[in-house]
Structure 1
Amino acid sequence: MKRAGILNRHLSGALAELGHGDGVLVCDAGMPIPDGPRVVDLAFRAGVPSFAVVLDGLLAELVVEGATAAEEVREANPAAAALLQTEFPDLALVSHEKLKELSAGARLVVRTGEARPYANVLLRCGVFF
């Protein structure tokens, strides 16, 4: 058994399979999930686990070279917007419709229980060297 980090075996295994340039969509409970990417659904109840908690856990284990979110987050969910801007100073913003299109190319989707709108981010994996 692992001592620390992500304990969910499905998520831990999916993360281990990621490579440079792969996309990981971290999304709220309402984001439409496209056909294709592997999905690890962590949603338990509305708000549990939160987008912030899941993102924090993922960032502790992944090398991320870029991130994209919906521009609508700035007005509709200032808390998520502030978190994303703090974590990703070079955050790319696109329309929500464009983010949904881009998410179809993700290798992994991690669905949270987040119940506030536009708490979604598409991460692009980097390398540790």
Structure 2
Amino acid sequence: MKRAGILNRPLAGALAGLGHGHGVLVCDAGMPIPDGPDVVDLAFRAGVPSFAQVLEGLLDELVVEGATAATEVRDANPAAARLLADRFPGLTLVPHERLKELSAGARLVVRTGEARPYANVLLRCGVFF
């Protein structure tokens, strides 16, 4: 049994299969999930687990070279906007419709229980060396 880190078996396995350049969409409970990517649905109840909790756990395990979020997050969800700006100084913002289009190319979608709007980010995996 793992001692620490992500204990969810499907999520840990999916993360182990990611490579350089692969996309990981971390999304709120309302984000439409495209056909194609593997999906690990962590949503339990509204707000549980939160976007911030899941994102922080993923960032402990992943090397991220880029991140994209919806422009709308700035006005609709200032807390998520601050979190994203703090974690990703080079954050790219695009219209929400464009983020949904880009998410179709993700390798993995991790759905949270977040119930605040626009708490979504598309991560681009990097390498540790």
TM-score, normalised via structure 2 length: 1.00
Per the alignment, residue 80 of structure 1 pairs with: 80
Per the alignment, residue 127 of structure 1 pairs with: 127
CA distance in structure 1 between the aligned counterparts of 2:86 and 2:71, rounded to whole angstroms: 15
Which whole-Å deviations, capped at 9, do the CAs of 1:51-86 have from their partners, x for residues lacking one?
000000000000000000000000000000000000
Structure 1, unaligned runs of 5 or more: none
Structure 1 residue runs of 4+, over 3 Å off? none
CA distance in structure 1 between the aligned counterparts of 2:34 and 2:56, rounded to whole angstroms: 24
Which AA in structure 2 matches 1:47? G
Which AA in structure 2 matches 1:111? R
Count, aligned residues: 129
Per the alignment, residue 42 of structure 2 pairs with: 42
What is the Cα deviation at residue 92 of structure 1?
0.1
What is the Cα deviation at residue 101 of structure 1?
0.0
Per the alignment, residue 63 of structure 1 pairs with: 63
What is the Cα deviation at residue 18 of structure 1?
0.0
Which AA in structure 2 matches 1:127? V
CA distance in structure 1 between the aligned counterparts of 2:89 and 2:74, rounded to whole angstroms: 14
TM-score, normalised via structure 1 length: 1.00
Which AA in structure 1 matches 2:60? A
What is the Cα deviation at residue 27 of structure 1?
0.0
Per the alignment, residue 96 of structure 2 pairs with: 96
Structure 2, unaligned runs of 5 or more: none
